[in-house]
Every structure is written in C-alpha cells, then in structure tokens.
Amino acid sequence: MMRPRLYQLIMVSLLGMTVTFAMAKPMPKKPAAGPVPDKAYMQKIWDGWATLNPDNTAMFYASGPHTFYDIAPLKYASWDEYQKGAKNLTANYKSAKFTVNDDAAIHPHGDLVWGTATVNEEMTTTGGKVEMGTFRWTVIWENQGGKWMIVHEHVSAPLG
C-alpha cells in the first residue's frame, strides 16, 4: 500500500514542476542603453590602431583592471599595460592599415555590447617588409557614463 501512495506523490510533484516550468516566461532581453557600437565604430577603433600610436585609441578603452588578449604577448591586465606593450610592438612598424570585414556582428544587451569580426591587416615594418593577414577580433563594450568603453578584447590569428 505504501508504494502506490509514494508513486502518486512523485507524479503530483512532477506534474507541479512541469506546470511551473511551462508557465515561466523567458527572461526578456535587456534593451541597450542608447545607441550601440556598430561596424563604423569598430572601424574607427582600428583606424586609431593604424596610426601606430596607442595613445590614439586610449579613448576607446576603459581604465582599471580589465583583461585584453592580443596576438603578442599573451595578455594584458589593464589598459595601461596594453598601451605600453602596444607601443613596444608598433615601434617596429612604419605604416598599418586595418579593415573590419563584412562579417562584423554586434550583440547589444543593456549596458554591455559584445562584437565579433575578422579584420584584414597590412603592416609595413621599419625595414620595408609588408606583412598581410586576417585576424579575429572579439570585443566587449560597457556603457560608462553614456560612452561605450572596451572592457575586454581578444585579438588572435589563425595558426599556420
């Protein structure tokens, strides 16, 4: 007699959980806080990098402890580190051009926006060698006082 009662209790519990889950509404997507970055804004950031002076891109990056992954070296723990490291790398080049490709995608979610793109690069070393390639870019912006600031970035190149 105990078994049928236990079975009934389990069935009622499962039915209750099913009804609860069926009635639950999905979380609405949080609207973006004002106009969000777009492909043109992404290109503006890379035009800043093309000057080979990281000071010209500082306005796009949040200060403080944020993680930025670049092709070399592996990782920076703040914009200050990133800026210093980038100055060392760009010192080896005399010109650069970066083009954000048509696969650029923007995903707004409230005060955060994440974007992805591939970026074509053409850089000329101080010795005159032209380097060309395509790398991947993932970026996260946070709305800080009405301005979209990069709080995380990942730049990588395919192996090979």
Q: Domain limits of the chain?
A: 32-156
DSSP H helical ranges for 24-155: 39-50, 79-90
Q: 124-150 burial string, b = 16+ CB within 10 Å, else e? A: eeeeeeeeeeebebebbbbbeeeebbb
Q: pTM of the predicted model, to two decimals?
A: 0.78
Whether the pLDDT of residue 160 is over 90: the answer is no
Whether the pLDDT of residue 16 is over 60: the answer is no
In the chain, the amino acid numbered 35 is P
Average pLDDT over residues 109-119: 96
Q: Which fold has domain 32-156?
A: Nuclear Transport Factor 2; Chain: A, (3.10.450)
Cis peptide before 26 (omega within 30 of 0): no
pLDDT in tens, 56-71: 999 999 998 988 888 7
